[in-house]
Amino acid sequence: MNVQELFDLKGQVALITGGGRGLGEQMAEVYAEMGCDLALCSRKKENCEEVAERLTREYGIKAQSYTLDVTNETQVEEVVGQVLADFGKIDVLVNNSGATWGASVEEMPLEAWNKVMNVNVTGTFLMSKAVGKHMIDQKYGKIINIASAAGLTVRPPEVTNTIGYTTSKAAVIHFTKDLAIKWARHNIYVNAIAPGMFRSKMTAGTLAQKEKAVLETIPLRKIGDENMLKGAAIYLATKASDFVTGTVLSVDGGSTL
């Protein structure tokens, strides 16, 4: 098998949560470029619609958008069922939907903590459970959880002050490892990507206030751009990673060293 075949996604179907902007859109684009059909899901369907229409036009793949709150189990099951009806299968699941909240520990509202944990941890569980049932039946699947470098390390409050987010991403990392060993027997690969600081809507506030301090924690002294996650995303979705499961791939400029 040559390298192009290893990274080919023609005939595959990927479901990406949070696929309408930011890192989700970046991953959707590289999958489309490699021939993958796409189900893009978000609470804001209009964002996914724009991305789906653009990728269909530019790459000739099939892409559809869906309204989805990953914390609502009924909605998760309904949307996964609709994706299966529309596409016939799901080969790749990317659990990318995420939430954060900036506040000191002593001032963080319980409501904020619960929101972050529900989206980042419970949402990852519910999506993996619903899609995993199908993958078990088809005896194949690739699950990619978007964790974070923040789940692998800690920083002083002068750099980041988001304890709910960091705790939730550490949970996603352990969930990834545990699920990988549970479902390896079904030929389902479960891995995580731990992005460092990328420019996105979620990080805009932090970078506006603390970009200099953040850069000092990154050995490569740069912030992630729109191309820096694509290699990891395509690797973990394709045959190129067929001997890799339960791993966390840090794409962080060295910030977790």
DSSP-assigned letter for residue 238: S
Of residues 31, 66, 165, 189, which has the active-site annotation? 165
Token pair belonging to 119: 């989206």
- Report the alpha-carbon distance of residue 23 to residue 227 in Å, rounded: 10
**159, 229, 173: which is closest to 198 by C-alpha?**
229
* Catalytic annotation present for 148: yes
CB-side exposure of 153: number of CA atoms within 13 Å? 19
- 255 as an active site residue: the answer is no
Contact indicator for 157, 136 with CB cutoff of 8 Å: no
What does each C-alpha distance from 143 to 14, 80, 129, 244, 254 come to in angstroms? 10, 14, 11, 12, 24
* Strand pairing category for 248-251 and 37-42: unpaired
d(CA 214, CA 222): 9
Active site residue 169: yes
Under 8 Å between Cβ of 196 and 251 = yes
The residues annotated with a catalytic role in the active site are 148, 165, 169
